[in-house]
Structure 1
């Protein structure tokens, strides 16, 4: 299969962090997303881990100007089509199956598939993907693993996700094969519970400052 440049790369070039979001209500989704976008993080990964995820995507896509809604924890081709119809502009998967790789070609939505090993990265490259999620980043070898992958697979770019916080993010973003990182630290559960949207905006602003110079 001919490998094409990822349509996601241009959008992510200046966004160092993709917030990984798990919402309990649509109202929560709107408040959090508004704060993140205001803080400079417009690309939002809303995971399919809660019953309100699809409704949250629709609401954020329709009501938060500047938000670029992504769908996380996408496991099937049917989910790819469903999140596209809900307003998601990109999809993220923890792994990549042959069915998902084939279905993504026709789904009309960019897919960021997850890999954790060199063999998985090679299989994703064969399927036409050059921009990959490295997951679970810390458990799968972290920065040393990505450094090792760069030599033989320098044409690939990654968004490491899993176990990354504000302290670890700069070491990942300093790597030549890392475009951005995914993380949930910008949306602490206690801030959400307290309705402290200003704190979330401040954390987003701090995350933006992690951008590689």
Structure 2
């Protein structure tokens, strides 16, 4: 079985999704898979996040699915029960991190400075989310961190088609999180063909 890091490195770009209607989960997952992006980080910024993950997992058992914006242990449990492969949090909350470790669930907490990286390493974590990437200094800040710390990163926040290559070219970067190919407005209106086009372009660009 592939490890989380191997799967992140394989996918390179993880679509960060805010989904408002559970009924949209399976059609969206189908579009992602059909266009070469069989992964999703479903954020807990909407009420139906857990149900959306359950629907995706049921329809596509092998899809690489994470839960994002996990702020509490209760949300972590909901995500685990829904069948996620990994959990992502915007910041470094030791309580949530330890809870996931105790449950055997991989977690990628957000960090953006040396002190937070060291706290995460102290808890045994070796893969971290660099967030918010661009407001925190972007590629230059991330290069400074990777020069010092033996960890892997998933930059998210301000990553876009114009800068993703500069992030992916950093050896310590496994994958990036992005939203531009899965706009919530297009999901809400069911514009699956347009989402498919955006996804296919993104996949082609990162694999060129």
- Name the TM-score, length of structure 1 as normaliser: 0.90
Matched residue, 1:3: none
Partner of 1:167: 162
1:104 is the counterpart of 2:105 = no
Structure 1 unmatched runs, 5+: 1-5
Alignment correspondent of 2:64: 68
Aligned to 2:128: 132
Bigger fraction of residues in helix? 2
| Number of residues of Structure 1 aligned to a counterpart in Structure 2 | 207
User: Structure 2 residue aligned with 1:78, among 74, 77, 88?
Assistant: 74
Residue of structure 1 equivalent to 2:9: 13
Contact 2:19 / 2:184 at 8 angstroms: preserved in 1?
A: no
- 1:212/1:147 CA distance change after superposition, 3 Å: farther
What is the RMSD of the two structures over their aligned residues, measured on CA atoms?
A: 1.8
Classify the secondary structure of the residue corresponding to 2:42.
strand
In structure 2, the residue matched to 1:143 is 139
Q: Which runs of no fewer than 5 residues in structure 2 stay unpaired?
A: none
**1:22 — aligned with what?**
18
Aligned residue number for residue 193 of structure 2: 198
Pairwise CA distance, 1:109: 1.6
Cα contact 2:18–2:184 (8 A) shared by 1: no
Tell me the CA shift for residue 48 of structure 1.
0.5
Counterpart contact for 1:159–1:180, Cα < 8 Å: yes
Aligned counterparts of 2:205 and 2:69: Cα–Cα separation in 1: 25
Structure 1 runs of 4+ with >3 Å offset: 210-213
